[in-house]
A and B are shown apart, each in its own frame.
Chain A
Amino acid sequence: MSIETQAPTQPPARVKPGNIQLDPNGKLRHFIAIEGLPKAVLQEILDTADSFANAHDQREKKVEILKGHTIANLFFEPSTRTRTTFELAAKRLSADVLNINISASSSSKGETLLDMLHNLEAMHIDMFVVRHGSSGAAHFIANNVAPHVSVINAGDGSHEHPTQAMLDMYTIRQHKPDFPSLRVAIVGDLMHSRVARSQIHALNTLGVGELRVIAPQTLLPTGIEQMGVQVYQDLEQGIKDVDVIIMLRLQRERMNGAFIPSQGEYFRLYGMTEARLALARPDAIIMHPGPINRGVEMDSAVADGPHSVILEQVSNGISVRMAAMAMAMQSRGEGGAI
């Protein structure tokens, strides 16, 4: 007898194709990551945000789009600004809002994340806005919620922070609407930044002309150039002739010795000053997701100066979050492709 071996079959695709963020009609169902969303959806978010922004200027700021719906802000990491703007956005859409800070309570009692979700679902929550310290958390939650529930990622680990990136796109579009002609630089801690990852995907999807990242090697993750960016380690070279400068926040625990030797040396090499800003285009705008470490990432003169659009970013955050929530809530129940 001779032994016939069998030709191997191809293994099945382990993860079902299809984008869990979109419903079968290509509409936004969950907002978890910029990666994987088509340009049309990003533009729809920006256009919808525009319509809400006009409403802010009126005396009656509320619209009744989400009246009778309940939104839970699930924050596993402390946050003031993001949580507040999400809360305000939900209220302006007339939704009921539940704020749940989970830094200590449930997780220390040994309740699993799934148990907690199912308990909240039993209270008829329609949408979860989630911030979590682990990359992939929003993805995990979206894969495990009931079909009628939508999930919005308010930041997961170092992975993505899509609403922040979209409010940044909105702010850029207000000042410089022609993306293909723009040269954009992102400066600082790209290694740990979920904001930067979302911004890189958004800027590339919207077709920005040139995208640069600027940081010392210790703050640049391996292979970031494969995300479609040009890498600079020298700030002055990197910001030459750019239209938009995005400064990233440097967490305090990363300042002294772990990734950079000191705040002082970081500021000397990568801090934004008026003199350096002069290397960019004369009408360049400077952005920061907040909160700023003055004297570390930038001088106060820059943060409060004429090129800064940092406070506009904050106001725009409300309209953009209203847009994301309204869009996700409108498409749910149409049987998303999980």
Chain B
Amino acid sequence: MTRLRIHIKGGHLIDPANGVDADSDIWVADGKIVAVGHSPDGFTADQIIDASGKVVCPGLVDLSARTREPGQSDKATIASETRAASRSGITTLVCPPDTNPVIDSTAVVELIHHKARETHCSRLLTLGALTRGLEGETITAMHTMKGAGVVGMSNANQPVRNALVLSRAFEYAATQDLTVFIRPNEPDLSQGGCVHEGPLATRMGLPGIPEAAETVAVAKTLELIEKSGVRAHFSQLSTARAAHMIARARHDGLKVTADVAVHHLYLTEVDIRNFDSACHVLPPLRSEQDRDGLRDCIRNGMIDAICSDHQPHEPDAKQAPFPDTAPGLSGLDTLLPLALRLANERLISLSEAIEVVTHKPASILGLDSGQLAVGSDADVCIFNPTESWFVTTDTLQSNGHNTPFMGWEMHGRATHTLVDGRITFTNQHD
């Protein structure tokens, strides 16, 4: 695919990293932003994108998205999901290491990167396994995997039970200057659970996962982070209490950041009533107080970023009694509109809503993307902020139709996406 010289014209540019929130054109060539506001000398555009009435912002960076490949391509593939990402304004996806085989060797890293490059859609980055096979026993060849391109280390949803192994893994990651990504979960406390432990779980007779499963893991992990000096990121927090513990540790000088999956800012345990398996996610949907507390943390910056925690499933995976269904929801399609909805609901400004899904996650990954300054990679999302659409099986782009937002009206939809200066998506109806 050739890279065109592109003039994005007449749009409203929002580039939070550089404090831009104004009507402004941008010019793209050779995969980079070559000018903002004023046309570069002698620029002749191969293509002009009319962005009038639209917002031009950095492409979204999603800190957690499973493409299901390798290992579960009956659910989705790298091709299907990087394409769906592009069509949803997301230009970078981060793949957790719990593929099959696990991302614990350069061979798997290279396989995934190779397949992703072939699709010519959004970028797919990888996290390497913190322990071999995610088994929590031996640390992996982090230096070698870093050389192959992983952007951090993680044990995905498999907690490392042995604190000594975890401590050494952190120390070794610190030596290699790698960020560790942790989904905090104390396995003995969450074992067998499928919903938030509380009055509703009690009424429904569903095994609960207590808040302490998350907070105990955060407390333990923070101690080991401090001891090792590793740079750490907490993924998909579900409790306000854990977010506060992390914010306090950061205030005390620890190098820690945190994200929340966007559905935890909208849904609560109550949405599970009538055993709705679309709401079976891990960590579980929690109380209203947790949801509101996490929203407060987004407003005051205690939580840095928002991700989709995308986990597409085939329909059968959700067709069973609630506890027997596969956890996880399909989230790529709804990441942008649900982030925008936070601005629509006046929780944060539009610029802040864009920042938590672009520049903030990019800086957690140590990337230069997530911004549109001259010289940066031309990963661009153009969206119509007022276009309304309904989440239906016809409008969803991901292979996974397992979304609890089915039937919701969304405002804001990507019309064009550029990855590395190439147009990977144009809304034909536009």
Query: What is A's interface to B at a CB cutoff of 8 Å?
Result: 1-9, 11-12, 14-15, 35, 112-114, 132, 134-137, 139-140, 144, 156-160, 194, 197, 221-224, 226-227
Contacts of A158 in B (CB 8 A): 205-207
B205 touches A197 (CB 8 A): yes
> Hey, which chain A residues are within 8 Å of B316, CB to CB?
112
B358-416 CB contacts (< 8 Å) to partner A: 385-386, 388, 404-409, 411-412
Q: How far is the CB of B96 from chain A (nearest CB, A)?
A: 27
B340 with A140: CB separation less than 8 A:
no
Complex interface residues of chain B between 299 and 346 (CB less than 8 A to chain A): 316, 319-324, 340-341, 343-345
Residues of B within 8 A of A226 (CB): 199, 202-203
In the complex, the answer to whether B323 meets A157 with C-beta atoms within 8 Å is: yes
Which residues in chain B, 104-135, are within 8 Å of chain A measured between CB atoms? none
A222 to B205, CA, bound (A): 11
Say yes or no: A139 contacts B275, CB within 8 Å.
yes
Q: Which residues of B contact A156 (CB under 8 A)?
A: 205, 321
Chain B residue with the shortest CB-CB distance to A157? B205
> Is B227 at the interface (CB under 8 A from chain A)?
no
Instruction: Identify whether the interface residues of B are mostly helix, strand, loop, or mixed.
Output: mixed
A117 to nearest B CB, angstroms? Answer: 11
Across the interface, A4 reaches (CB within 8 A) one of B14, B274, B385, namely: B385
A112 touching B320, Cβ below 8 Å? yes
12 A-B contact pairs sorted by A residue (CB < 8 Å) = A3-B12, A3-B14, A6-B344, A6-B411, A8-B341, A114-B320, A135-B206, A136-B206, A137-B321, A157-B206, A224-B202, A226-B202
Cβ contact of A136, chosen from B198, B321, B345, B406, cutoff 8 A: B321
- Tell me if B49 counts as interface (CB < 8 A to partner A): no
Chain A residues closer than 8 Å to B168, beta-carbon distance: none
Q: In the complex, A2→B404 CA distance in Å? A: 33
The CA of A324 and the CA of B206, in the complex, are separated in Å by: 25
Interface residues of A, dominant DSSP: loop
In the complex, per-residue mask of B177-215: 1 if CB is within 8 Å of any chain A CB, else 0: 000000000000000000001111111111110100000
Say whether, besides A1-B53, A14-B407, A194-B205, A222 and B274 are in contact (CB < 8 Å). no
Given known contacts A3-B12, A7-B344, A11-B408, is B202 in contact with A222 (CB within 8 Å)? yes
Q: Report Cα–Cα, A7/B53, bound state, in Å.
A: 17
A113–B197 Cα gap in the complex (Å)?
A: 27
> B201 to A222, Cβ gap below 8 A?
yes
Contacts of A222 in B (CB 8 A): 197-199, 201-202, 208, 210
Whether a CB of chain A sits under 8 angstroms from the CB of B292 is: no
Are B274's CB and A134's CB within 8 A? no
Q: Is B174 an interface residue (CB 8 A)?
A: no
- B residues in contact with A135, CB < 8 Å: 204-206, 275, 321-323
- Is B23 on the interface with A (CB-CB < 8 A)? yes
- Find chain A residues with CB under 8 A from B322 CB: 134-136, 140
B276 at the interface (CB under 8 A from A): yes
Of A1, A5, A14, A134, which contacts B324 at CB under 8 A? A134
**Contact assessment for B276 and A14 in the assembled complex, using a CB-CB cutoff below 8 Å:** yes
Residues of B near A224 (CB, < 8 A) are 199, 202
Closest A residue to B11 using CB positions: A1
Provide the bound-state CA to CA distance between A33 and B275, in Å. 13
Whether B250 sits at the interface, judged by CB under 8 Å, is no
Q: If the complex has contacts A1-B12, A3-B350, are A159 and B206 also in contact, measured as CB distance less than 8 A?
A: yes
The 8 Å CB contact of B201, one of A1, A194, A221, is A221
The interface residues of chain B lying within 8 Å CB-to-CB of A15 are 273-274, 276
Nearest 7 CB-CB pairs, A to B? A223-B199, A159-B205, A158-B205, A136-B275, A137-B321, A134-B321, A221-B202
Contacts of A5 in B (CB 8 A): 340, 343-344, 350, 385-386, 411
Name the one of B198, B271, B341, B412 contacting A14, with C-beta atoms under 8 angstroms: B271
A270 to B132, CA, bound (A): 48
Q: Nearest B residue to A144 by beta-carbon distance?
A: B319
User: Please, which residues of chain B bring their CB within 8 A of the CB of A194?
Assistant: 205
14 additional contacts (CB under 8 A) given A136-B323, A226-B202: A1-B23, A3-B12, A4-B386, A5-B386, A6-B411, A7-B344, A8-B341, A15-B274, A35-B203, A114-B320, A134-B323, A139-B275, A140-B320, A222-B210
Is there a chain A Cβ closer than 8 Å to B60's Cβ? no
Which listed residue, B14, B275, B405, touches A140 by the CB 8 Å rule? Answer: B275
Q: When chains A and B are docked, how far (Å) is the Cα of A114 from the Cα of B325?
A: 13
In contact, B411 and A113 (Cβ under 8 angstroms): no
Measured CB to CB, the nearest residue on chain A to B197 is A222
Closest approach, in angstroms, between the C-beta of B210 and any C-beta of chain A? 8
The CA-CA distance from A156 to B388 in the complex, in Å, is: 41
Determine the chain B residues whose CB is within 8 A of the CB of A140 once the complex forms: 275, 320-322
Q: In whole angstroms, how far apart are the Cα atoms of A223 and B409 in the complex?
A: 34
- Do A12 and B12 touch (CB < 8 A)? no
Residues of A within 8 A of B411 (CB): 5-6, 8
Q: What chain B residues lie within 8 Å of A14 (beta carbons)?
A: 271, 276, 278-279, 404, 406-407
Task: Tell me, in angstroms, the Cα distance from A222 to B340 when the chains sit together.
Answer: 36
Contacts of B206 in A (CB 8 A): 135-136, 157-159
Question: Distance (Å) between the CB of A210 and the closest chain B CB?
Answer: 20
